[in-house]
Amino acid sequence: MRVKKITEVVGTKVYTESGEFFGEIEEANLSENKIEGWRIRVGGSVLNLLGGARGVIIPHKFVKAISDIFIINKTTLPSQSEIDEFPEDLI
């Protein structure tokens, strides 16, 4: 198994487990030297679902695979009330 650096995955395309394009990795959120979540700039048809939000933060536990692409659980999509709570500088 090859370990990737965080800088290597920035810009990696993100897809849901059903194969829908979700967006691209922008940044990793770290807590005590562990990856807590991923900031993803959304794109494609997901953009319409999120009511105009430009990005989301997905907890690392919902990432199914990391390789040439990221695969995430579709159930990780935040509700509209959670999107409204995101600070604008994080989105």
d(CA 77, CA 89): 19
Q: Record the tokens describing residue 20, joined without a space.
A: 């829908």
Domain that holds residue 69: 6-78
Asked whether 54 and 75 are in contact (CB, 8 A), the reply is no
Per-residue pLDDT of 75-87, as tens digits, reads 766 554 444 444 4
CATH classification of the domain holding 55: 2.30.30.240
Span 62-87, average pLDDT: 71
How many C-beta atoms surround the C-beta of residue 8 within 10 A? Answer: 11
Model pLDDT, residue 63: 93
Span 40-66, average pLDDT: 79
Q: How confident is the model at residue 56 (pLDDT cuts 50, 70, 90)?
A: confident
Strand order in the sheet with 21-31: 55-59, 34-42, 21-31, 13-16, 70-72, 63-66
Residue 32 lies in a domain: yes
**Residue in this structure with the two tokens 């695979």, named with its chain if needed:** 65
Structural domain count, the chain? 1
Helix (H) or strand (E) holding 66: strand 63-66
Residue 25 lies in a domain: yes
Model pLDDT, residue 12: 95
Span 33-57, average pLDDT: 78
